[in-house]
Structure 1
Amino acid sequence: MSSSRRKDSIARLFVDTSNKASDIKKTDHADKPRNKHHPLKIVELAVVDGFPLDPQRTLSAHDACDDFSLPPTLSLYDPSNDETDNDAFPTSLKPIDMTDCKFIKKIGSGSSADVFRATWQNKDIAVKKMDFSYIQFKREAAFLHKLTELNAPNIVQFIGYSTDNLNYFYLGMEYVPGGSLDCLLDSARELSWSLRISFMLDIARAIDFLHQMKILHRDVKSPNIFLRANFQLVLGDFGSAIYFDQKQSFAGTIAWMAPELFAQKPATPASDIFSVAVTFWEIASRQVPYEAHKEQSMIKIVSEGHRENIPLTCPKDIADLITESWDQDPTKRPTAGKLLARLSMLAEKSKINVSPIDVPEKEKSAKRNTDQKRFRSF
Structure 2
Amino acid sequence: MTTYGWTVPGYTHVRELGAGGGGRVVLAVHGATGTPVAVKYLGERLREDPAFLAEFRAEARLLGGLESPYVVRLYEYVEAPGGAAIAMELVDGISLRAVLRESGRTGPEAALAVLKGSLLGLAAAHRTGVVHRDYKPENVLVAADGSSKLVDFGIAARRGTTPGVAGTPAYMAPEQWQGRPASPAADVYAATATFFECLTGRKPFPGQNFAELAVQHVEAPVPEDEAPETVRPLIRRGMAKAPEQRPGDAEEFVAELEQLALAAYGPDWEERGQRRLAAAAALLPLLFPSSGGAASGTTAVATTSLG
TM-score by length of 1: 0.64
How far the C-alpha of 1:196 sits from its partner, in A, is: 2.3
User: Which residue number corresponds to residue 175 of structure 2?
Assistant: 260
Q: What are the superposed Cα offsets for residues 118-154 of structure 1, whole Å, 9 maximum, x if unpaired?
A: 222323211110133221122111111110xxx2241
1:193 maps to 2:111: no
1:137 maps to 2:56: yes
User: Which residue number corresponds to residue 216 of structure 2?
Assistant: 301
User: Which residue number corresponds to residue 252 of structure 2?
Assistant: 338
AA paired with 2:258? S
Query: 1:174 & 1:189 partners in 2: Cα distance?
Result: 28
Q: What are the superposed Cα offsets for residues 255-295 of structure 1, whole Å, 9 maximum, x if unpaired?
A: 11111222232222222221111111121122245456122
How far the C-alpha of 1:208 sits from its partner, in A, is: 2.1
* Equivalences for residues 163-182 of structure 1 within 5 A: 163-166=79-82, 168-182=83-97
How far the C-alpha of 1:181 sits from its partner, in A, is: 0.9
Query: 1:320 & 1:341 partners in 2: Cα distance?
Result: 13
Contact 2:72 2:89 in 1 (8 A): yes
User: Which residue number corresponds to residue 318 of structure 1?
Assistant: 231
Choose between structure 1 and 2: higher helix proportion: 2
Length, aligned pairs only: 268
AA paired with 1:333? R
Query: 1:238 & 1:266 partners in 2: Cα distance?
Result: 17
Contact 2:224 2:236 in 1 (8 A): no
How far the C-alpha of 1:352 sits from its partner, in A, is: 2.3
Query: 1:159 & 1:192 partners in 2: Cα distance?
Result: 35
User: Which residue number corresponds to residue 101 of structure 1?
Assistant: 11
Q: What are the superposed Cα offsets for residues 326-364 of structure 1, whole Å, 9 maximum, x if unpaired?
A: 111221112223310022224444222537643585999
How far the C-alpha of 1:242 sits from its partner, in A, is: 1.7
SS of the aligned residue for 1:179 comes to strand
SS of the aligned residue for 1:264 comes to coil
> Residues 262 and 245 from structure 1, CA distance in 2 versus in 1: closer, same or farther, beyond 3 angstroms?
closer
Unaligned runs of 5+ in 2: 47-51, 284-307
> Residues 160 and 173 from structure 1, CA distance in 2 versus in 1: closer, same or farther, beyond 3 angstroms?
same
SS of the aligned residue for 2:38 comes to strand
SS of the aligned residue for 2:28 comes to strand
* Equivalences for residues 1-378 of structure 1 within 5 A: 68-74=2-8, 99-120=9-30, 121-131=33-43, 132=46, 133-147=52-66, 151-166=67-82, 168-188=83-103, 191-290=106-205, 293-308=208-223, 310-312=225-227, 314=228, 316-335=229-248, 336-349=250-263, 350=266, 351-354=268-271, 357-358=275-276
SS of the aligned residue for 1:252 comes to coil
Query: 2:241 & 2:209 partners in 1: Cα distance?
Result: 21
What is the aligned-residue RMSD (CA, Å)? 2.6
How far the C-alpha of 1:247 sits from its partner, in A, is: 5.0
How far the C-alpha of 1:186 sits from its partner, in A, is: 0.9
TM-score by length of 2: 0.78
How far the C-alpha of 1:222 sits from its partner, in A, is: 0.9
Task: Give aligned-pair identity as a percent.
Answer: 24
Contact 2:162 2:180 in 1 (8 A): no
Contact 1:198 1:347 in 2 (8 A): no
Query: 2:156 & 2:278 partners in 1: Cα distance?
Result: 36
SS of the aligned residue for 1:234 comes to strand
Contact 2:158 2:182 in 1 (8 A): no
Where has structure 1 moved over 6 Å in runs of 4 or more?
A: none
How far the C-alpha of 1:223 sits from its partner, in A, is: 0.6
> Residues 236 and 359 from structure 1, CA distance in 2 versus in 1: closer, same or farther, beyond 3 angstroms?
closer
Contact 2:247 2:253 in 1 (8 A): yes
Query: 1:269 & 1:324 partners in 2: Cα distance?
Result: 14
Query: 1:106 & 1:291 partners in 2: Cα distance?
Result: 34
Larger Cα-atom Rg:
1
